[in-house]
Amino acid sequence: MQTEAHLPRHCSSSLQGIHSMGKIALLFAMILLPALSMAMTPEPVQQLAPVSKELKKQLIGTPVYIQIFKEERTLELYGKIGNEYRLLDTYRICNFSGGLGPKRREGDFKSPEGFYSVKMNQLKPDSRFYRAINIGFPNQYDRDQGYSGNYLMIHGDCKSIGCYAMTNAYMDQIFTYVNAALRNGQQEVNIAIYPFRMTESNMQRHRYSTYADFWKQLQPGYAYFAQYHQPPTVNVASGRYVMNSSPVITQPEAASQSFLALSKVK
């Protein structure tokens, strides 16, 4: 068998050319891989800045929407201006229990996840935990799964056995906006409770969780609000959450008409 030294000159040159091309390809790979890696890495979630304190005060009575993120220990309160919901304030959750995942049965001490709605009769201004909002667990989805439990709240203080404890100071603000919105004509306040911010990178990080299938049902609601700045329309079909894929633009509700002039205020 001929070695490289005994090969004809043109073969030896070809081999040298191949080696050179290989080195060049390797060099390009070393240059491009970090860039590709950065391109494939999801950017961190950019938190929206809340409205000014002055505007926040003026928006008492506008329709509101709430998002809760367990892992980030965050409650976000949004107010409606025109056809969009703007961030009014962000509150740190003082305490919740049971870790990530939905509440399934009475006594499991887990705080719920999913989509809930609050009407006036679910407000508890005289709760033993200062003030409280009953989120309405179990909802239709929970009942379809056979889940059980009652009196799951967002409330004051910092103690939790399945609720979201916000401290009295934070709960005072949250309760004030929800109460004012309902009294001013909003039929119900929607509350979306997520295990974490449902970005693609976070979904990948939790892809092997026993709750992964359930969380995939929640993610479209998170993505919808992030894109359209409107709460998703959520229904339950065959024991699963389903929701709209595009916004329904309606005339502003009576409850928010007085706030339309503020829509251009930063």
pLDDT reading at 253 higher than 70:
no
Distance of alpha carbon 247 from alpha carbon 229, whole angstroms: 9
Confidence of residue 48 (pLDDT cuts 50, 70, 90): low
Q: What pLDDT was estimated at residue 50?
A: 86
Query: Token digits for 101?
Result: 């995942």
The set of residues, in sequence order, having a beta carbon less than 8 Å from that of 231 and lying 6+ positions away, is 65, 85, 190, 192, 225
Distance of alpha carbon 74 from alpha carbon 197, whole angstroms: 10
pLDDT above 90 covers a percentage of the chain that reads 71
Burial of 254 (0-12, 13-18, 19+ CB in 10 A): exposed
Q: Which helix (H) or strand (E) holds 191?
A: strand 189-194
Higher pLDDT, 20 or 71: 71
pLDDT reading at 264 higher than 80:
no
pLDDT reading at 99 higher than 70:
yes
Distances (CA, A) of 18 to 5, 9, 10, 12, 28: 16, 14, 12, 10, 15
Q: What is the pLDDT of residues 197-239, one digit of tens each?
A: 999 999 999 999 999 999 999 999 999 999 999 999 999 999 9
Query: Token digits for 3?
Result: 């070695």
Q: What pLDDT was estimated at residue 46?
A: 53
Burial of 54 (0-12, 13-18, 19+ CB in 10 A): exposed
Q: Do residues 240 and 142 touch, judged by C-beta distance below 8 A?
A: no
Q: What pLDDT was estimated at residue 75?
A: 99
Confidence of residue 248 (pLDDT cuts 50, 70, 90): low
What is the residue type of 109? F
How large is the average pLDDT for residues 240-250? 76
For 123, phi then psi, to 5°, come to -85, 135
Q: What pLDDT was estimated at residue 250?
A: 52
Query: Token digits for 149?
Result: 């439990």
Catalytic positions: 155, 163
How large is the average pLDDT for residues 119-135? 97
Q: What is the pLDDT of residues 179-189, one digit of tens each?
A: 999 999 999 99
Give the residue ranges of DSSP H helices in 100-167: 140-145
Q: What is the pLDDT of residues 4-37, one digit of tens each?
A: 444 444 433 443 443 444 444 444 444 443 333 3
Q: What is the mean pLDDT of the chain?
A: 83
Q: Do residues 79 and 86 touch, judged by C-beta distance below 8 A?
A: yes
What does DSSP assign to residue 111?
P
Under the phi-then-psi rule, with left for phi > 0, alpha for psi from -120 to 50, and beta for the rest, what region is 114? left
How large is the average pLDDT for residues 82-100? 96
Q: Name the strands in the sheet holding 74-81, side by side, starting at the edge strand that comes first in the sequence.
A: 84-92, 74-81, 64-69, 189-194, 114-118
Q: Which of 38-42, 121-125, 202-206 has the lowest mean pLDDT?
A: 38-42
Higher pLDDT, 266 or 148: 148
